[in-house]
Structure 1
Amino acid sequence: MAGRAWYDVSPSAARLTGSLRDIGYDFPTAVADVVDNSVAAGATRVEILIEYDGTDSRVFIADDGGGMSPPALLEALRFGTRRDYGRSELGRYGLGLKTASLSQCRLLTVVSRSSRSRVRTCARSLDLDLIGEWDQWVVVDPANSDPTVLRARQWLAEGTGTVVVWRSLDRVLPEKRPEGGWARRRLDTLATRTAEHLGIVFHRFIEGVTGRSQLVITVNGQKVEPWDPFAGQEPATVELPAQRFEIESPGSVGKVTLRRFVLPSRDSFNDPSGFDRLSGPLNWNRQQGLYVYRAERLVQWGGWGGIRGIDEHTKLARAAIEFDTDLDTAFNINVAKMKVSLPAQLRQLIEPSVNELCILADDAYRKTSRVRNAAPVPADLGAPAEVRAAAQAASHAGLALRMAAMQVDQWSAWEQIETLLRRQSPEVAELLGLDRG
């Protein structure tokens, strides 16, 4: 800018921090964003403690990761940190720790220990009241006598790690009567919802299928159970062949994997309660569709991304879309890492595969409905038991043949076979449930 006048127009710290509080988090998603940092730090255990104490209620999020040195901690509390993020790291914009925490509280304190050989911790705080008073981007040292900070330091007495503390929970507790019974029940409810949310978004890390150490998460002392949306432990779950696509992103080309599943009907689950649990937070109909994973972390789920609509008959169909952080720009991931947009080129590529999956899910649903709704035939009036059993087996054969054709990538050939059967042997097509075009 030689020869040109320029002006430093720094944003108002008080105004901007106030605006950043409304970036779109709720309590469970804010906790999950902080847990992202624990995962990036190599943690194998994350403990979340939500303590009710009236206006002094607080939240602890503690991990056993690598911890941070004093300079690294100070940088971590910078809005828009200058540090670079490596491939597969869950961070992106350098805002998550701050925006997630301050969306729920006015006082954020972080205590960390990075040395295994020396019991030395560092602590820093972001105080919205102080930022508002000074209108400056300031980070302060909390008082050494602060009992909450002392508790956090004790948490790190055995090894490295980080403890994030939320206080002044103005967005969590009711403004009126924060010390009442309703406030206590609200924190209990938030603890339950948070455990469910973490079990969903980090289920691959909790299951230990990510290629890194298995992650244990607890909320108020209770271990978080993973929620696998594809019922991988159920023998009747059908997984179709995985497909891989290349997607262009500014400056690079990234790979996307599509995995497709037809879930079992209630009658085919080993345990009927498992079917109810797999209905998920949105229930079966709205839980069908695409599950988008960014670096193994579930970001968005439910719905077909504009490819097709929700249908009762395809509620057993679910598909995973997996990509790494090099495609963040293509997927337009938001700051809270809760929402993505499918690239138009990817939507076109996967549309035929999604439609094939839904055909199979539709068949599985209709076969189950026919068997469930069939009127029982009196033994003295109907066919012999072995004949009825053979007819029932035949009613499932068409679905098995369709799935087999899909699994060996011969769907086009199978469609020709179906068309021929319906034309030349309609009674066979009806017996196999292939009489619908």
Structure 2
Amino acid sequence: MSGLTYTNVAPSAARLTESLRDIGYDFPTAVADLVDNSVDAGAGRVEIEIRFDGENSWVSIADDGIGMSSKSLLEAMRFGSRRGYGLRDLGRYGLGLKTASFSQCRSLAVVTRQRGSGRTSSRMIDLDVIAEYDDWIIYSPAGDEHVARARKQIADTGGTVVIWRSLDRVLPERRPEGGWARRRIENLAAKTAEHLGVVFHRFLEGSVGDPLVITVNGEKVVPWNPFAPDEPARVELPLQRFELSVGEVSGAVSLQCVVLPSRDRFSSATEFDRLSGPLNWNRQQGLYIYRAGRLVQYGGWFGIRGIDEHTKLARAALEFDADLDLVFNINVAKMRVTMPPQLRQLLERPINELCIRADDAYRKTARHAGDTEDAPGRSPRAAQMELPLQRESGEADGPVATTAGLALHSAAMQAGEYAAWSRILNVLRTQAPDVAAKLGLDS
């Protein structure tokens, strides 16, 4: 800055903190962002309480992680804290604790104690105080019953407790003590448990890091694995890896495609219904994007193809590490990513092949069900004997021909002849539309 005339203009604390409240969280994703911090702190247990008490309702997220020193706590309370993040850290911007909390409440308190340390520290941010003084005020709470309770909670184990109060984004402005407000708190607790079971299923299962236990109001969160690893009839395609280089950023991305069993091949009807997921079968199909083992976004094909009833059994895990955050343009709430164009092209063939397999599995089940309904007296053996005739007549050739079309498409891309391929494709669609359709190239 030598030789320059400049003025340091700090932003209005009151205005900026209010603006940051609308960064895009809902209640379950805000809680999940705080669980990220607990995981990064090496916690083996995270206890979440969501308690109704009228306008005094409160939320607590407590862990048994490594805790923080008094100095580290002050830094953590800073908007945009000055700390580095490792490749496996779930944190990213130094904003999550504050933005997630204030998306739901106006009062944030943090109580922490380092493992093996004899000292417990606590700090508080209140948006009403910031609004009154228009300054970035952090203070030590005194005589606070929730803080006192939190101190006792981590006195022996160490760890951190985050407390939300003044839940203005959770409770209705009118009648916060009413029955509707109580039911809303109860519903949010259930939705939060469900969301955490999806987002952190690998941690809860112990497939990433040490096993993690999360409780919501004393009940253990049950992991929901979208890929049904215990179902013997599922089909797991070979793992694929891609190298991405965008500007000066490079890293690896892995893709694991799975075709889930159809209803009649699931271990039980109950398990089939459970695996339909929070969004139900059709909207649960698609890509599941994992960042450092944590599920960030799921459902849909990112424009590679559309949602289809016939491909509802297709799911694919796409995983990247935090070194590719800029490439995927992950947002502060860690809820949304942008698919890099380079990767989208690489994924077209494996995703379409996965969907062909899923479509085939779906249609085989539908044909079998149709045979049974049309001729209830016919034996399963008789139905099986007819399948070779169906294949000879060309009824089941569609998936094979479509795979050939995809292979031609992919080969043109890998040979650097995509422009020539596009011209050939346009001619084929015009002069031989039936061939283009059989190859799956009619759209």
TM superposition score normalised by structure 1: 0.88
Pair 1:184–1:378, CA change in 2 (3 A):
closer
Structure 2 equivalent of residue 297 of structure 1 = 294
| In 2: Cα distance, 1:120 partner to 1:134 partner | 30
Post-superposition shift, 1:390?
4.4
Pair 1:250–1:165, CA change in 2 (3 A):
farther
Structure 1 equivalent of residue 29 of structure 2 = 29
Tell me if structure 2 keeps the 8 A contact 1:249–1:327: no
Tell me if structure 1 keeps the 8 A contact 2:53–2:177: yes
Structure 2 equivalent of residue 99 of structure 1 = 99
| In 2: Cα distance, 1:272 partner to 1:385 partner | 21
What are the superposed Cα offsets for residues 106-133 of structure 1, whole Å, 9 maximum, x if unpaired? Answer: 00000001032x4421100011011111
Q: How does 1:13-412 map to 2 (within 5 A)?
A: 13-116=13-116, 118-143=117-142, 145-210=143-208, 212-374=209-371, 375=373, 377=375, 379=377, 386-391=381-386
What are the superposed Cα offsets for residues 273-324 of structure 1, whole Å, 9 maximum, x if unpaired? Answer: 1111111122111111111000000000011111111111111111111000
Pair 1:186–1:263, CA change in 2 (3 A):
same
Post-superposition shift, 1:249?
3.8
Alpha-carbon RMSD across the aligned residues, in angstroms, is: 2.3
SS in 1 for 2:283: helix
| In 1: Cα distance, 2:390 partner to 2:268 partner | 23
Post-superposition shift, 1:248?
1.2
Post-superposition shift, 1:378?
6.0
| In 1: Cα distance, 2:381 partner to 2:85 partner | 64
Pair 1:142–1:395, CA change in 2 (3 A):
farther
Structure 1 equivalent of residue 425 of structure 2 = none
Post-superposition shift, 1:393?
9.5
Tell me if structure 2 keeps the 8 A contact 1:250–1:329: no
Q: Which amino acid aligns with 1:237?
A: R
Post-superposition shift, 1:372?
1.1
Post-superposition shift, 1:3?
2.3
Pair 1:141–1:310, CA change in 2 (3 A):
same
Structure 2 equivalent of residue 418 of structure 1 = none
Tell me if structure 2 keeps the 8 A contact 1:191–1:219: yes
What are the superposed Cα offsets for residues 346-385 of structure 1, whole Å, 9 maximum, x if unpaired? Answer: 0001101111111111101111111112235365xx5x77
Tell me if structure 1 keeps the 8 A contact 2:45–2:214: yes
Pair 1:395–1:109, CA change in 2 (3 A):
farther
Tell me if structure 1 keeps the 8 A contact 2:349–2:407: no
What are the superposed Cα offsets for residues 214-252 of structure 1, whole Å, 9 maximum, x if unpaired? Answer: 010000011100111111111111110010001114433
| In 2: Cα distance, 1:366 partner to 1:275 partner | 17
SS in 1 for 2:22: coil
| In 2: Cα distance, 1:395 partner to 1:130 partner | 75
| In 2: Cα distance, 1:122 partner to 1:342 partner | 42
Q: Which amino acid aligns with 1:138?
A: I
| In 1: Cα distance, 2:381 partner to 2:242 partner | 48
Post-superposition shift, 1:389?
5.0
| In 1: Cα distance, 2:315 partner to 2:291 partner | 17
Post-superposition shift, 1:28?
0.2
SS in 2 for 1:138: coil
Q: Which amino acid aligns with 1:224?
A: V
| In 2: Cα distance, 1:203 partner to 1:386 partner | 41
Q: Which amino acid aligns with 2:3?
A: G
Pair 1:377–1:309, CA change in 2 (3 A):
closer
| In 2: Cα distance, 1:392 partner to 1:161 partner | 62
SS in 1 for 2:352: helix
Aligned length: 403
| In 2: Cα distance, 1:395 partner to 1:207 partner | 43
| In 1: Cα distance, 2:278 partner to 2:289 partner | 16
SS in 2 for 1:360: helix
Pair 1:392–1:226, CA change in 2 (3 A):
farther
Post-superposition shift, 1:196?
0.4
Structure 1 equivalent of residue 432 of structure 2 = none
| In 2: Cα distance, 1:216 partner to 1:88 partner | 19
Structure 1 equivalent of residue 419 of structure 2 = none
What are the superposed Cα offsets for residues 382-404 of structure 1, whole Å, 9 maximum, x if unpaired? Answer: 5x7744454479989x99xx89x
What are the superposed Cα offsets for residues 387-432 of structure 1, whole Å, 9 maximum, x if unpaired? Answer: 4454479989x99xx89xx9xxxx969xxxxxxxxxxxxxxxxxxx
